[in-house]
Amino acid sequence: MSDDSGRQAAFGVRNRIPVYNATMISEDTIQEIRDFVRERDWSRFHTPENLAKSISIEAAELLECYQWSPQMPPLGEEHVHEELADVLIYCIMLADRLGVDMDDIVATKLTKTRAKYPASAVRDHPDEAIRRHWAARGESVSADGDESAENEASERSELSRNQLKQMVSARNDIAIRTVGQATELADSMRIRHDLRWLLDEEASGVNHDYFGFWNGEDWASNFHPAPFDVDWDVSGDALPERTILHFACSEQWFMFRKAWRFNDADAMHAVLQPGLAPHDYKRIGRSVRNFDEVIWSRESDRYMLEALIFKFTQNPELAAALLGTGDQVLVECSPFDAIWGIRLGKRDREGRIDDRWLDPRNWKGRNRLGFLLMDLREALRA
């Protein structure tokens, strides 16, 4: 197609006022992006087809992430549905300009997405048991690649997980609900796992099994739905002391504490808004005023531990899942995060299995989240 109006009519693109505003992205940043695009020699890095494929994959990932996001008001949900659909539609329009037939690319991606995340597995589906089973599923891969042994281990893990869940549920005293309790436990925990420890273990001949996770469908992820309440027993002007705060996931608490640490009351209240998704919490956290990288790098582990303590002590099924990993090395296979993850995914950009994450010598990140989960696992066993 060559006529834009005909293309828009064919794809059903809606003419709406853009929802983006200065709170999401500044005009300076927008101009920076435009300048960056203009100055790149794209032919040296990507063909038009690869560019179009990459954009379509990212758009489809947005759809996957959205179905695990917390409930939002119906009107807001409808707008998000429309915006996400428009992203995919625009990808096809862009591909047309680049001379790439992308209909099949998008259709294939959506087919894979439906198979990976069936309708019965998304939030608010009547079959809650199926949804919970899917959301709680973990993926454990043995370094030797023995599929039969892996299946047997998975079955044993499910049995032990049920037993652990009963054990954790019976321990009502395990639930941590005040900031003071979480801080005390975090300060008393033995922090012994890190990348140097793992590399030394491997070098000395110790063989480890690895448990990889990433994104909200994996129970170990900070984006995974895991509601908890916190008795805010901290004095200050931003919030009344002894306020009961409600959190949808550990990412929300982590970004809330970031805003608190740097005295940004506006960001604190923004993070506490109901109906936001995990990526919204992260976006707000990135905009915290008075942020100091040196201070945050020194103290963020403690706040992350608080988030994990609240998450796993107030959600017995998640504590059981964590304990059920035994002595496996927990790995956040984020292809983007070099601090909390390994900056390496379990699949490449084309969706092919990439097993480099099973060897820590290949990692491009510190895996701080994975190692802190292992430290918490030891504390829960004690």
Q: Which of 29-33, 199-203, 288-292, 374-378 is predicted with the least confidence, judged by mean pLDDT?
A: 29-33
- Radius of gyration of the CA atoms of the chain, in A: 22
pLDDT at residue number 27: 72
Q: Which of 67-71, 228-232, 309-313, 342-346 is predicted with the least confidence, judged by mean pLDDT?
A: 67-71
Helical H segments across the chain, by residue range:
4-11, 27-39, 48-66, 74-98, 103-116, 128-136, 147-170, 179-188, 195-203, 250-261, 265-271, 278-286, 293-313, 316-323, 368-381
Residue 210 scores a pLDDT above 90: yes
Residue 180 scores a pLDDT above 50: yes
- Report the pLDDT averaged over residues 32-47: 60
Q: Which CATH architecture has domain 174-381?
A: Orthogonal Bundle (1.10)
Q: How far is CA 374 from the centre of its chain?
A: 18
Residue 5 scores a pLDDT above 70: no
pLDDT at residue number 7: 40
Residue 160 scores a pLDDT above 90: no
- Report the pLDDT averaged over residues 255-280: 95
Q: How far is the first Cα of the chain from the last one, in angstroms, to the nearest whole number?
A: 66
What is the pTM assigned to this prediction? 0.58
- Report the pLDDT averaged over residues 12-35: 55
Residue 167 scores a pLDDT above 50: no
Residue 369 scores a pLDDT above 60: yes
Candidate ranges 19-33, 51-65, 116-130, 299-313; pick with highest mean pLDDT: 299-313
pLDDT at residue number 57: 66
CATH of 27-114, one of 1.10.443.10, 3.90.79.10, 1.10.287.1080, 3.40.630.40: 1.10.287.1080
What residue spans define the domains of the chain? 27-114, 174-381
The pLDDT-based confidence of 270 (bands split at 50, 70, 90) is very high
